[in-house]
Amino acid sequence: AMCYVSPMVEKVGAAYVDAMMSPRVLKSHFSFENMPKGGRAKYIYAVRNPKDCLTSYFHHHRNFKLYNWAQGEFGLFFDLFMSGSLGFGDYFDHLNSWIDGIEQSDESILFLKYEDMVADLRSAIIKIAKFLGGSAAELIKDESKLERVVSASNISSMKENQERWFPKDQLHEMKFIRKGGSRDWKNHFTHEQSERLDELFRQRCSLNGAARWWKDEMAW
């Protein structure tokens, strides 16, 4: 499963990561401050608008057995998200730490918005390949190989054979890839909840410009 091929750093620990063959592809929910740095490592930071992030995270919690949240209510989950009380901490602390880190760092970090990847997957893949360099940069020069990567990376393809992502026994339903796209939050939020999150977003992200992102995706 992909969770073993490309493991979460904070789940498997340093000894496991050190034993992996290079080059390694690792995942993490670490903030910028907590992310191990140095050497020739490159980082891809992908971010999604907070309303769809909250909604996706809600379904993630309901599906993973370890959370014991199969019957969890959206209203309670919304309040936990708003107060930064969920696993991996506060969404806005995390986002702001990486924005600040990217501004202060060299060219070892690639910043991507989920919505941009959905809108133009091909361009996102080319951007990632050029950023990684080496064999990835060479691969995209072959049009047939590039098309295979694009085809395998769309939501429809990723919904197939989902045991690739996580072992079946860890989930209530074999739906790790659920929906994709944007604005599914409209099927869950009340108008009052939407306004509360809009206001929190403005308060927490006004200084770095992020509050101007996602106007269409977050509009009621």
Of 124, 133, 189, 176, give the one whose Cα is nearest residue 153.
124
Annotated catalytic residue: which of 29, 61, 188, 191?
29
Would you say 180 and 117 are in contact if contact means Cβ atoms under 8 Å apart?
no
Task: State phi, psi for 144 to the nearest 5 degrees.
Answer: -65, -40
Record the tokens describing residue 70, joined without a space: 């199969």
Render 53-118 in DSSP notation, one character per residue. Answer: HHHHHHHHHHHBGGG--TT--HHHHHHHHHTT-STT--HHHHHHHHHHHHHHS-TTEEEEEHHHHH
Residue 72: CB atoms within 10 A of its CB come to 15
Does the annotation mark 61 as catalytic? no
List, by residue number, the catalytic residues: 29
